[in-house]
Amino acid sequence: MLQATFYHAGCPVCVSAEKTIVDALDTNRYKVDIVHLGEQANRIDEARNKGVKSVPALLINDQVMHINHGADLADLG
């Protein structure tokens, strides 16, 4: 399975993007993890190291896609 990770912070922009884009992914080919960085602050460094600068962001095959703009990662911790 390929890996997709959706990082968010529970903000309205995040929730809206999550509903739309995560639902549209092909879950027969992609394992989709959803990470709430507000609740899993220990994963903020992981996100930063992957190149995430703001949320919501979708990471697929090590490529970061910043989707619209909810909050800067720097504001999360």
| Tokens of residue 10, six digits | 């529970």
Is 11 a binding residue for a copy of itself by CB under 8 A? The answer is no
Judged by CB under 8 A, which of 36, 48, 50, 66 binds a copy of itself? 66
- Our CB check for a copy of itself shows the closer of 28 and 42 to be 28
Is 67 a binding residue for a copy of itself by CB under 8 A? The answer is yes
Number of C-beta neighbours around residue 73 at 10 A: 19
Q: Residue 63, Cα to own-chain centre: how many angstroms?
A: 11
Beta bridge mates, 21: none
Is 25 a binding residue for a copy of itself by CB under 8 A? The answer is yes
Beta bridge mates, 34: 6
Is 63 a binding residue for a copy of itself by CB under 8 A? The answer is yes
| Tokens of residue 76, six digits | 């999360």
Binding site for a copy of itself (CB under 8 A): 2, 4, 16-17, 20-21, 24-30, 58, 60-61, 63-68
